[in-house]
Structure 1
Amino acid sequence: MKPVIMTLKEQDWECLQAILFQADGRERQVFLELGLREDQHTFEVLLHRLRPVADADYLSQGLYHVSPKPQAVVEAYNAFCRSGVLVHGHVHSHPFCDVAHFSAVDHQTLGQIRRGLADLVTLQGLNESTTCFQMVLGRDPAGFEGVLLNLWGEKMGALSTVRVITPQGIRLYQRELGEDNSGALADVRLDRNIRWLGKEGQKKLSQTHLSICGLGGAGALLVANVRGLGFREITLVDPERLEPSNLNRFVGAGIEDVESYKVDILKRELRRVAPETIVHALPCGVEDPEAQARLREADLIVAALDGMQPRAELQILAARFLKPLFDLGSGILVQPGGEIRRMGSQIIVYIPGQACLACQGMDLFRPTEGLAGEIRRRTGYVVGATTELTPTSVVTINSVAAGWTVDLIIKFLTGIGPIPLYTQINQWRGIVEQLHFVKKESCSLCGLDGIEGKGEDRAVLPPPPFPALGIQFDFGDGQGSPACWTPTGARPHGLFGNLVAKLGKPKDYDRSANGKESH
C-alpha cells in the first residue's frame, strides 16, 4: 500500500473549507472529480472539480451525521462520467473535532459509494482503472483521514499529505511528519542560504524536486544558480550534445566535453557540489515518455526551450498535473548592418488556478505562424543578422534571465511571494516591466472547462479559437471587469512586450457593450 498525496489549487481548498465548515456546525458533503498519477512510491490525486451538495439536497443532516438524497448522488455520478477523470471522490466534514477519523458509518458509506461506482463502470463502459477516494476533514487543516480504493474494495493507499498550490508557494498539510531534514539543515554548505531564507525556507527547498527542461545558454546558467541551494532532487531534460559553438555560454563545460550530452555534463557539475543530490539526466525531448514520467513526479518545472511545441507539451502537462511552470526566453534583434535594436528576456509563470502561458500571450498552438514564428526565431538566438550563431554577449542576457528566474523560484517555494507572473527585462534600455494577465474562462487549458487537475486521463484538448492570441490584462481600473485587448498585426517588441508598454491603459480604447475595454 502506497501513501496518497492530494494536490489542489488554493481557490479550491478555500472553497472546500467554506462549504464544509459553516456557522451552524452541521456536517456537509462535497463530491470530487479527481485526476490520478501513480509512480513507484506514491499515488497522487489531483482535484479537477468540486461538486458540492446543496443543503436542500440532503436526506438528513445534523451535527454528527449527513446523508444526501439519491438524486444528488446520481447527479454526481453523471458529472463524473462526463468529466473523463479516473477518480470519483467524496469528502465530508467532522466540524465537532479538530482531527477527524472515519467512523463505522463512514466505512459503510464508502462501501456503498464504491459499489455504486463499480455498477456505473459496468453500465457505462468506463475505464476499469477507475478508483474511489474518500476523505473526512476536521477543523484543523491537517486533521484529515483519507483512503483510495479500487472497484473491488481493495485499499490502494492512505492519504498522508494535502498539497495546496498557491501564488505564494506550495503549502503542505501532513497527517504524519515526513522524513527528518535536520541533517540537511545542519550542512555548512547551506549556512548562507539559511541566514537569508531561515530554516523553514531552506527546509522547503530541500524537500523540492525541481525539473529543468532545455539546457542551452540560459538552461546551463539555471543549473549553475540552483546547484548550491540544496534541492533534494533535480531532473534535467535536453536531447542535444555539446557543440564547440556552445562553449562560450555553457557553464561548467570544457573542450573535452564536446559531443557529450548536455544533461550528463550538468549532472556531473551538480554532483560535484552536492553528491547526495538525486539527479535524473534525460537526453531526450520533453515529449519522450521517460521525460513525461519524471516531469509528473517533479514539484516545479522550469522551461528554457527554443520552440513552441515543447512549451505546449509542458503547459499541458503542468495543467493536467497541477505543476507550477516557469518559462524563460532571451534574445537579441540585430539590424543587417550590425546595429542592435533590442536585447533582453522575459519570464512567464504559470501557477495552477492562474492564467496559463496561452492566456499570457504565448501562441502555443500555432508554432509556425505569425507571432509564434517570430518568437521562436528570437528565443535564445540573435536574429536579423546573417548568422544564427550566438555571440559572446548573449551570455550576459542569459545570466540575468537565469538569475532572475531562480530568484522568483526561491520566493515562490519559500512563500516570500507573491511573485509577478510576467516579467520582461529590456537590457538594452535598462527597463523591467511586470504585467498581470487575467485568465480567460473559455481557455481550453486553464478555463472553466479546461484540463487542470485531470491527471492521466486521455481527454482530447480542443484547439484554441481564432485568433489564437486573445489576451486579457487587469488594469485595476475599478470597473469590475478586466480590459481585453487583441493585437492586430502589431510587430512584437521583445517577446510580446510591445503589447503594453507599461502596466496601464492603452492610449486608445473603446468601451464595449459588455463593459470591457477593447483596444
Structure 2
Amino acid sequence: MNAPWSVRITQNDWHALAAHLFPGDRDEHAAILRCGLARTPRGNRLLVHDVLYAVDGTDYVPGDRGYRKLTPEFVLEAAESCADDELVYVAVHCHGGTERVEFSEIDMASHERGYPALLDITDRPAVGALVFARNAVAGDIWLADGTRVPIDHLQVLGRPQTRLHPEPRRPAHAGEAFDRQSRIFGDRGQHILATQRVAIIGLGGAGSLINEYLARLGVGEILVIDPDRIEMSNLSRVVGARRGDAWSLLTTENRPEWLRRIGRRLSAPKVKIAARVAREASRTVTVTAVFDDVLEPDVAELLLDCDHIFLAADSHSARRLVDALTHQYFIPNTQVGAKVSLVKDTGDIADIFSAVRASVPGDGCLRCAQLINPVLLQEEAKSHGERRRQRYLDDDDVPAPSVITLNALAAAHAVNDWMMSITGLTSDLVEPHRWITIHPLTDEIVEYAQRHHPSCPNCGLGRFARGDARRLPTKVR
C-alpha cells in the first residue's frame, strides 16, 4: 500500500462533475464519488464508477464549523451504498483558484472527525476526499490500517487525456535525442511519454511496428506479450526479424520435415526480437518480454499496471480480455489489424482493409460491435487437436494473406492517435471518430460509431470501474 495513489475518471463523468462544481457562481459545491479500487505494485487507482451530486440547500448546507457541509443523511446513504456495492467513498468539493489547491484546516479537521466512522460503515480498504480548483486537485485518502496518504494526480481518460495535480509541475528538458519531436509537444509531452507503461499483445506485422514506434518516441516501458516464434513466412513483415532468427538453414521448404521441426523449435520468440528492436532504438526504454499466452492469469495480471494496451492479436479471447481490462480497470486500448478477404471459390480479392479501434472507459466495446464471436470464443477454448478434428473454425493451417504496408497503415494511425491524445494535442472540441477502417482498393477511410449496451458483460455496469472486485476472463486453472 506504499505505492502512490491516483484517481481515474471518464471524460463524460469529468465534464459533468466540473460543470456541477464550477457553474460560474464562484461558490462551493460538492458531490460524492463511488469508486472501484485497483492495487498494483506501480500504484493504487481509484476508478470513478459513478457520481452522486449534492443538491445545494438540500444535501450541501451551511456548516456548523465551516462554510458548508454535506448533510449526515446524504453521507450515510452514500456510504451504505458503497458498502453494498463494494465501492470506495470519496467526497469532493471545490475551492476558488485555478492552478493550485489544498484542503483548509477546517476540511482536515472534518476528515479526522468523520472518516474513521466512514471506514467502519463502508468496510472498504479506503475512504477519502478530493478538493478541486479549476485546473488542480488535491486528495486526502484514509486507509483501513490508520494511515493517510495524498493523491498524486487525477487522470481524465478521454481524447485528449488530462492530468490534474495539486500544483503545476515543471518537467525536465527533453534532451537532444528527442529534440525534433519535443518541438511538437514540448518537454511536458516528452515527459509524459517517458512515464508511460504500454503493452503490446501480439508481435506480428502490426505489433512489431508499434513496438519500434513506441521505443523511438521515448516511451519509458514496453510490455510485449506473444506465445509464438518467428517463422520464415513472417520475415517479410516482422520488424527486426532476421533469417537467423528463423533458423533458415533448417526451416526452408527443401529441408526434410523432421529437420524443419527442429528448426522451428529453435527459432526465436517474437517477443525476443521485439525486445532487441526496442533496445536498439532507445537507450532508455525498459522492455518486459513475456513469451506466453496473454490469457494465462499471471500474464494478464501484468497488464493491470499499464497505461495503454495495443491489441495486435487475432484471437477473440484476447479481444474479450482487453475489453474487460479497459472498462474494469480503466486502461484504454487500441485494437489494430489488417485483413485481406478472398472469394472462397475463386481466390480473388474481395476486400483489403486496415482497422484501428481505440476505446476508453465509458465507450462501447468490441463485443457490442459484434467483433467478438461467441462461437469462436468457445472454439478457442479447445485444444488445437480438438479444433482440427471438429473443423468448426476455418482451417488454421492455411495462412491468411498479409503485407507489411497494410500493417503500417494501421500501426502508424494507432500510435499517432494515442500520442496526440496523451500529450494533449488532440482538441476536445472535435467529436472523435476513434474506429476507422482504411480500404486501399477503393481509397476510402470509413469512420463508424461505437456501440454500447449497459447490460454488456464486457463494458456494462457489472464490470465498469470494478477493479480488483471482479475476476478477469482469463483461463481457469
Asked if these proteins are the same fold (TM beyond 0.5), I'd say yes
For the pair 1:317 / 2:325, whether they are aligned, the reply is yes
Distance in 2 separating the partners of 1:52 and 1:348: 33
How far 1:344 sits from its partner (Å)?
1.7
Distance in 1 separating the partners of 2:42 and 2:214: 26
Q: 1:23 to 1:273 in 2, by over 3 A?
A: closer
What pairs up with 1:497-512 in 2 under 5 angstroms?
Answer: none
Is the Cα–Cα contact under 8 Å of residues 88 and 132 in structure 1 kept in the other structure?
Answer: yes
What pairs up with 1:316-355 in 2 under 5 angstroms?
Answer: 316-335=324-343, 336-355=345-364
User: What is residue 163 of structure 1 aligned with on the other side?
Assistant: 155
Distance in 1 separating the partners of 2:76 and 2:373: 38
Distance in 1 separating the partners of 2:327 and 2:287: 24
For the pair 1:187 / 2:176, whether they are aligned, the reply is yes
For the pair 1:67 / 2:55, whether they are aligned, the reply is no
Residue identity in the other structure for 1:160: D
User: What is residue 388 of structure 1 aligned with on the other side?
Assistant: 398
Is the Cα–Cα contact under 8 Å of residues 37 and 44 in structure 1 kept in the other structure?
Answer: yes
Q: 1:366 to 1:319 in 2, by over 3 A?
A: farther
Is the Cα–Cα contact under 8 Å of residues 132 and 148 in structure 1 kept in the other structure?
Answer: yes
Match of 1:173 among 164, 167, 183: 164
Distance in 2 separating the partners of 1:278 and 1:361: 36
Distance in 1 separating the partners of 2:243 and 2:165: 48
What pairs up with 1:114-513 in 2 under 5 angstroms?
Answer: 114-121=115-122, 126=123, 130-137=125-132, 139-142=133-136, 144-155=137-148, 157-167=149-159, 169-175=160-166, 180-182=171-173, 185-188=174-177, 190-258=178-246, 259-335=267-343, 336-363=345-372, 365-368=374-377, 388-391=398-401, 394-417=403-426, 419-447=432-460, 449-458=461-470
Secondary structure of residue in 2 paired with 1:227: helix
Residue identity in the other structure for 2:282: A
Residue identity in the other structure for 2:352: M
Distance in 1 separating the partners of 2:336 and 2:435: 10
How far 1:19 sits from its partner (Å)?
2.1
How far 1:4 sits from its partner (Å)?
1.7
Is the Cα–Cα contact under 8 Å of residues 46 and 455 in structure 1 kept in the other structure?
Answer: yes
Q: 1:300 to 1:163 in 2, by over 3 A?
A: same
Q: 1:288 to 1:92 in 2, by over 3 A?
A: same
Distance in 2 separating the partners of 1:107 and 1:200: 32
Secondary structure of residue in 1 paired with 2:161: strand
Q: Percent identity?
A: 26
Is the Cα–Cα contact under 8 Å of residues 321 and 454 in structure 1 kept in the other structure?
Answer: yes
Q: 1:386 to 1:294 in 2, by over 3 A?
A: closer
User: What is residue 49 of structure 1 aligned with on the other side?
Assistant: 50
Distance in 2 separating the partners of 1:41 and 1:119: 27
Indicate the larger mover: 49-58 or 208-217: 49-58
Distance in 1 separating the partners of 2:244 and 2:99: 61
Is the Cα–Cα contact under 8 Å of residues 213 and 302 in structure 1 kept in the other structure?
Answer: yes
Normalised by the length of structure 2, the TM-score is 0.81
How far 1:365 sits from its partner (Å)?
4.9
Q: 1:96 to 1:424 in 2, by over 3 A?
A: closer
Q: 1:113 to 1:151 in 2, by over 3 A?
A: farther
Match of 1:80 among 67, 79, 82: 82
User: What is residue 468 of structure 1 aligned with on the other side?
Assistant: none
User: What is residue 472 of structure 1 aligned with on the other side?
Assistant: none
Residue identity in the other structure for 2:176: D
Is the Cα–Cα contact under 8 Å of residues 84 and 458 in structure 1 kept in the other structure?
Answer: no
How far 1:404 sits from its partner (Å)?
2.4
Distance in 2 separating the partners of 1:55 and 1:458: 35
Is the Cα–Cα contact under 8 Å of residues 27 and 64 in structure 1 kept in the other structure?
Answer: no
User: What is residue 261 of structure 2 aligned with on the other side?
Assistant: none
Distance in 1 separating the partners of 2:313 and 2:236: 18
Q: 1:172 to 1:23 in 2, by over 3 A?
A: closer
Is the Cα–Cα contact under 8 Å of residues 230 and 268 in structure 2 kept in the other structure?
Answer: yes
Secondary structure of residue in 2 paired with 1:241: coil
Residue identity in the other structure for 1:436: A
Residue identity in the other structure for 2:165: Q
Distance in 1 separating the partners of 2:356 and 2:92: 38
Q: 1:84 to 1:445 in 2, by over 3 A?
A: farther
Distance in 2 separating the partners of 1:455 and 1:271: 32
Distance in 2 separating the partners of 1:395 and 1:34: 43
Residue identity in the other structure for 1:65: Y
Distance in 1 separating the partners of 2:100 and 2:183: 35
User: What is residue 110 of structure 1 aligned with on the other side?
Assistant: 111
Residue identity in the other structure for 1:340: I
How far 1:364 sits from its partner (Å)?
5.8
Q: 1:252 to 1:55 in 2, by over 3 A?
A: same
Q: 1:100 to 1:181 in 2, by over 3 A?
A: closer
User: What is residue 22 of structure 2 aligned with on the other side?
Assistant: 21
Task: Count the aligned residue pairs.
Answer: 434
Distance in 1 separating the partners of 2:295 and 2:114: 37
How far 1:76 sits from its partner (Å)?
0.4
Is the Cα–Cα contact under 8 Å of residues 333 and 384 in structure 1 kept in the other structure?
Answer: no
Q: 1:54 to 1:200 in 2, by over 3 A?
A: same
Is the Cα–Cα contact under 8 Å of residues 365 and 451 in structure 2 kept in the other structure?
Answer: no
List alignment gaps of at least 5 residues for structure 1. Answer: 371-376, 378-382, 462-519
Q: 1:112 to 1:222 in 2, by over 3 A?
A: same
Residue identity in the other structure for 1:339: D
How far 1:318 sits from its partner (Å)?
1.0
Distance in 1 separating the partners of 2:45 and 2:73: 30
Distance in 1 separating the partners of 2:298 and 2:437: 33
Q: 1:459 to 1:220 in 2, by over 3 A?
A: closer
Distance in 2 separating the partners of 1:408 and 1:439: 22
Indicate the larger mover: 72-81 or 59-68: 59-68
Is the Cα–Cα contact under 8 Å of residues 171 and 187 in structure 2 kept in the other structure?
Answer: no
User: What is residue 464 of structure 1 aligned with on the other side?
Assistant: none
How far 1:25 sits from its partner (Å)?
4.2
Residue by residue over 1:249-287, the C-alpha shift from the partner in whole angstroms, topping out at 9 and shown as x without a partner, is 221111222322211211111101212101111122223
